[in-house]
Amino acid sequence: MTYTQLAVLGVVVAVLLDLAVLRVGLLRRRAFWTGYAIIVFFQLLTNGWLTGREIVTYDPAATLSSGQVVLLGDWRVLFAPVEDLMFGFALVLLALDLWVGWGRQGVDREPYADGPWQRRRDAREARAAQQDQAAQRARNARP
Amino acid sequence: MAEELRQFAYLGVLVLVLLTTLPLELYLGVRVWRRPRRLALTVLPVVAVFVVWDLYAIDRGHWDFDPAQTVGVLLFGTLPVEELLFFLVVPVAAIMTLEAVRVVRRWPVGDEATPAPRTHGGEQ
């Protein structure tokens, strides 16, 4: 099989796993697509480095691209063949499905956030709630 | 690039990915590195599948690696060690990104112990 065929197959298998086999259903979640948008941006950068510098080279017979390393066009995006985007999508979706799948099984499910940023937000929200309550009390106390 | 640095052209990118995602663990507190059991159970099957794909692709000549820009450690005789590390680093970075989105936006991803309250009509 060519890289093109394998890449399409990889995406199909990952999608089927997500929707029908593992039934994690990340493809239906806003969190997944938002995360993927961030991931694909960085993938284009790192992949652009790997392919633009020809650290990795591809057989033109196995890809849609004619083999010339161009920034955009000829089935390449930021130097990388489009097949790499499909490869990356399958890799990322499979990994995230397994991660969420294990969480659903109860493996290391919680806690899932405890950083300084999180604590600061919690404190901010607690303060806002207190102020709300105080304002409410003040309103109610009025004759 | 100096010749001795050139061999780290691939490995260096992987280190950069690890370093740039580290604040997600330390500052956002996504707790990906601190759930090693779940992380291992997730990453190991991914590594297995994609190493097989990689070995097949190398065997069939789909892609090739520049010996001058890799450190030169080959697994199974053909697979640059960077490729194996890629299949470890990229899933970790992807998981950290998903967890970061979950933390910041409070959107559920499907493993919550109790279904998240659906406040604004169908935000999944």
ipTM of the complex: 0.90
Same domain as A65, residue A48? yes
Do residues A26 and A47 share a domain? yes
Enter the tokens of residue B77: 């005789």
Beta bridge partners, A72, equal: A77
Q: Does the pLDDT value for residue B101 go beyond 50?
A: yes
**Residue corresponding to tokens 């960077």:** B82
- Region A69-92: what's the mean pLDDT? 90
Q: ∠B45-B54-B77 over CA atoms, to 5°?
A: 105
Cα angle value B10/B63/A75 (rounded, 5°): 100
A134 shares a domain with A74: no
Cα separation of A63 and B120, whole Å?
44
**DSSP state string for chain A:** --HHHHHHHHHHHHHHIIIIIS---GGG-HHHHHHHHHHHHHHHHHHHHHHHTTSEEE-GGGSSS-S---SEETTEETTEEHHHHHHHHHHHHHHHHHHHHHHHTTTT------SHHHHHHHHHHHHHHHHHHHHHHHHHH--
* pLDDT, tens digit, 9 for 90 and up, residues A27-78: 999 999 999 999 999 999 999 999 999 999 988 888 888 878 888 888 888 9
Do A108 and A121 lie in a common domain? no
Tell me the residue range of the domain where A137 lies. Answer: 113-143
Q: Which of residues 75-104 of B touch A (CB under 8 A)?
A: 87, 90-91, 93-95, 97-103
Q: In terms of CA atoms, which chain A residue is nearest residue B26?
A: A115
* One domain, residues A102 and A121: no
- B17, B46, B111 ranked by CB distance to A91: nearest: B46
Mean pLDDT in residue range A120-137: 92
Q: What is the pLDDT of residue B123?
A: 47
User: Which residues does A132 contact at the CB level (< 8 Å), separation at least 6?
Assistant: none
Residue, of A106 and A35, whose pLDDT is higher: A35
With a cut of 80, say whether residue B3 has pLDDT above it. no
Q: Any idea where the domains of chain B sit in the sequence?
A: 3-105
Option in A39, A59, A112 nearest B102 (CB): A112
**Which of B37, B66, B101 comes nearest A107 by C-beta?**
B37
User: Over 60: is that where the pLDDT of B120 sits?
Assistant: no
pLDDT of residue B23: 94
> What's the domain count of chain A?
2
Query: Sign of torsion, CA A47 A51 A55 A61?
Result: positive
Domain co-membership, A54 together with A19: yes
The model's confidence at residue A79, banded by pLDDT at 50, 70 and 90, is confident
For B25-42, what is the mean pLDDT? Answer: 95
Residue A72 to residue B89: CA distance in whole angstroms: 26
At residue B64, does pLDDT exceed 70?
Answer: yes
pLDDT of residue B119: 52
Q: CA-based angle B118:B121:B124, to the nearest 5? A: 60
Q: Is B82 helix (H, G, I), strand (E, B) or coil?
A: helix
Q: Are residues A32 and A64 in the same domain?
A: yes
Compute the residue count for chain B. Answer: 124
Q: Which of A55-69, A92-106, B50-64, B75-89 has the lowest mean pLDDT?
A: A55-69
- B69: confidence class by pLDDT, cuts 50, 70, 90: very high
A129/chain B closest Cα distance in angstroms: 18
What number is the average pLDDT over the span B38-51?
A: 97
Give the residue-averaged pLDDT of A9-17.
Answer: 97
Mean pLDDT of B90-98: 97
